[in-house]
A and B are shown apart, each in its own frame.
Chain A
Amino acid sequence: MKQPALTRSVNLKILIVVIAAFCCSSAAYAHHSFALFDRGKLTTLNGTVREWKWANPHTWLTVVVRKANGADEEWALVGSSPNMMVRWGWNAADIKAGDKVMVDIHPARDGKTIGQLQTVFLPGGKVLADPAGQPGEALAGGPTNLPTKPQGELYK
C-alpha cells in the first residue's frame, strides 16, 4: 500500500495549516501545528497591529512590539478560521492596523517571534477569545468566562 500523498506532505517539517479545530477530547488542541507552539505557556504581547488578515483557513494578526531596548519586533500570530471566530463573537472589523492591543499567545517552542492567538484585548475594553481547541459544546455554545485582563507573562 502506498503512503497517501497527504501523509507524505505532512512529513515535511514546515508549518502545516489546517482547516478546523479538533474538538472534543479533554486534551483538545488547536488546529495548528501541534509541535510548533507551546500550549503550556502563555505570553502577553503589548503592541501595535500591523495587519489583521481575516481569511480561511486561518486568520493572522501581525503585531509590532517595541522591546525594552527600543527595538521593534514583528510577531505573526495565527488564529482560528473566521467561521469559528464569528461564532465566538469576533468580527473582521474589530481589529485594524494601528490599534494598540494586548494579546495573550502561546509562543513558539523555538523562540521565533510567532505564536498562536489565545485572547485579544482591544483598546475599548472588548475581549476576544480564540475558540481553537475548544470542545464541540463550547464551539456551539459560545465563549464563557472571558478573562478581563491579560493572563500571560508580559514580553519585554
Chain B
Amino acid sequence: MARLLCGCVCSLVALILTAQPRDARAAPAPQSKEVQAQAWRAIASLPDLWQGTWQSVSPIADDFPTPPDYTPSALDYIKTYKPVEDSPFANCKPLGLPFLMNIGGMPMKFFQSPGMIALYVESSGMTRFIHTDGRQHSERPNPTYLGESIGHWEGDTLVVDSTGFAPDTLFQMGKLDPKTLAQGDPSPLSGVIFGQHGPNLRLVERMRLADFNTLEIQTTIYDDTVFKRPYSLPARKYIRGIDRRNEPQEWACTDNRDYFDQATGKVEYNVKDKAQSR
C-alpha cells in the first residue's frame, strides 16, 4: 500500500514537474493568418520609426549635468581615475550597451514585426532585439553585450527595458570636472569616466519622435553599485536619413585589425597576435 501510495505521489510529482515548464513557458504556436494580419495592422498605426535610418547628432560622450549620487565604491574609483588618453574601441571588440548607442559615425535602423522590434546599429554591426510581446524579463538572463530588451508603448513613446549585461560592456559612469582637464584637449572623450557596471545594470530607454526627422532617446541607468539612485541622462538626438547614402551597410570589423609599429613606422594588417596584446 505504502509502495502504491509512493508510486502515485511520485507519478503525480513527475506529472507536475513535466507539466510545469509547459505551463510556465507555453510552447509558441504559429499564429493564424487572421491574428497575424491584425498584428501587422496594429503596427501600421505606431509612430513611424521605420522609414530610413537614424544618424546620431549628439556628442559621443554623455553629459552628466546633474552630479550623480555615487556609491562610496564609485567615489573611490573616480578619485583615482585617470582619463583615457585615446579611444577605447581597439580591436573591434563589441562595445555593448549602453555606450553602443553613443557611437555616432554610422546610422542605425529600426525594423518591426509582430512581437519584436529589431534595431540594427551599424557602428557595431549588431542588432538589438526588443521583445514587444508582453513578456517579462527572464529570471536569470545570460550576460550578453546587448542584454535582454523588452519594449512596450506608452502613448507615442517606445519604452525599452534592458538587463542581463556582460560585465565588460563599455559603461560611462560620469564626467570629470572640466577644470581638472588639460586645456584645449581635442578629444571628444576627454573627461569621460569609463568604469565597471554592476551585474544588475538595468537601462530604461524612452524613444520618441520629437518631430518626423528627429528621434530622441532618453536613458535612465539603474545600477546600485554605482549610483545610489537611478540616474537619468539627457536625451540623445538622432536625425532621419532617407537617401540611398543613409541606407544601412554591413559592418565587418574582425579581420583587418591594423597595427602601427611605432618603432618602424610601418603599418601591418591582420596582425591578430599583436592586435590582441595591445
Interface positions of A (Cβ within 8 A of B): 1-7, 9-25, 27-29, 31-35, 39, 53, 55-58, 60, 62, 76, 78, 80-81, 83-84, 86-87, 112-114, 135-137, 139-142
Contact of B260 among A14, A21, A29, A83 (CB under 8 A): A14
Given the interface contacts A4-B194, A4-B196, A55-B255, does A21 sit within 8 Å of B104 by beta carbon? yes
> What separation, in Å, do the CA atoms of A3 and B106 have in the docked complex?
28
Interface positions of B (Cβ within 8 A of A): 55-60, 73-74, 76-77, 82, 84-93, 103-107, 122-124, 168, 170-171, 186-189, 194-196, 225, 238-239, 241, 243, 245-246, 249, 251-253, 255-260, 262, 265-267, 269, 278
Residues of B within 8 A of A84 (CB): 105-106
| Min CB gap B76→A, angstroms | 8
Contact of B59 among A7, A24, A62 (CB under 8 A): A24
Could you show 23 A-B contacts with beta carbons less than 8 Å apart? A5-B168, A14-B262, A15-B259, A16-B88, A19-B253, A20-B103, A21-B105, A22-B60, A23-B60, A24-B188, A27-B188, A28-B188, A29-B187, A55-B256, A56-B252, A57-B89, A58-B258, A83-B105, A114-B260, A137-B55, A137-B239, A140-B239, A140-B245
Residues of A within 8 A of B257 (CB): 17, 57
Asked if A56 and B57 sit within 8 Å, CB to CB, the answer is no
> What separation, in Å, do the CA atoms of A11 and B103 have in the docked complex?
21
